[in-house]
Amino acid sequence: EVQLVESGGGLVQPGGSLRLSCAASGFTSSSYWMSWVRQAPGKGLEWVANIKQDGSEIYYVASVKGRFTISRDNAKNSLYLQMNSLSADDTAVYYCAREPFLYFDHWGQGTLVTVSS
Amino acid sequence: QSALTQPASVSGSPGQSITISCTGTSSDVGGYIYVSWYQQHPGKAPKLMIYDVTNRPSGVSNRFSGSKSGNTASLTISGLQAEDEADYYCSSYASTDTRVLFGGGTNTRVVFGGGTKLTVL
């Protein structure tokens, strides 16, 4: 059974940093692109970033470019999102998602990031 | 403002059919086959319902179907059931550089619609 479990969310002050992790199981994560998608409270979905199987291609939504870094460790079946210079606009549930190719067939349960003083 | 435009809400009675539209541009919905649809119940993670415009993942009811015409994609749900009441989101590959389909640069790769709340009356 495919499982994605996010962790690392929490309360952080504006300008602070946070690192999210996503542990994958039930499939060979090195065979898939992986993405982070976020959802602000009461709002819609927003794709944040994705990374190719071997990490050779990485893309970001414009609003996080230069502040967020996506990475993966295939040996640990893990996906990461390093978030720096956080603002209130980054407050959201962050989902890790498996991406066969430009669609998301499995999602984690999400981890809440709250940016507030 | 979302990149893809969806109606904020639609409704239908049990047994009826409804269609949710998703309008983009030639740089996203109209230009590629990479349109997908997701169902999200309150407090839950999204669930893939349709990918590559018309394909249905294993386990998804055949009451759900997808199509596309020009810059508008559509999700149709037939034989509405109470359990279909949820939020629905469309998604598409998006490129601001039509010369390059894959790889390179920092163009946004995926965009979502604003979501449609389906109410089963």
pLDDT in tens, A52-74: 999 998 988 889 989 999 999 99
User: Which positions in chain B touch A110 (Cβ < 8 Å)?
Assistant: 45
Q: Which residue has the tokens 């669930």?
A: B47
Among chain B residues, CA nearest to A110: B45
Interface A-B, measured as beta-carbon pairs within 8 A, has a size of 65
From the list B62, B87, B102, B81, the residue with the least C-alpha distance to B7 is B87
The whole-number pLDDT of residue B104 equals 42
Burial B72-93 (b: 16+ CB within 10 A, else e): bbbbebeebeeebbbbbbbbbb
User: Which positions in chain B touch A100 (Cβ < 8 Å)?
Assistant: 51
pLDDT in tens, B20-44: 999 999 889 999 999 999 999 999 9
How many Å apart are CA A89 and CA A81, to the nearest integer? 16
Burial zone of A56 (CB within 10 Å; 0-12 exposed, 13-18 middle, 19+ buried)? exposed
| pLDDT, one tens digit for every residue, chain A (117 residues) | 999 999 999 999 999 999 999 999 999 989 999 999 999 999 999 999 999 999 998 988 889 989 999 999 999 999 999 999 999 999 999 999 999 989 999 999 999 999 999
The whole-number pLDDT of residue A70 equals 95
How many Å apart are CA B49 and CA B37, to the nearest integer? 5
User: Which positions in chain B touch A44 (Cβ < 8 Å)?
Assistant: 2, 89, 112-115
Residues in chain B where the model's pLDDT stays below 70: 1-2, 96-107
| DSSP three-state, residue B1 | coil
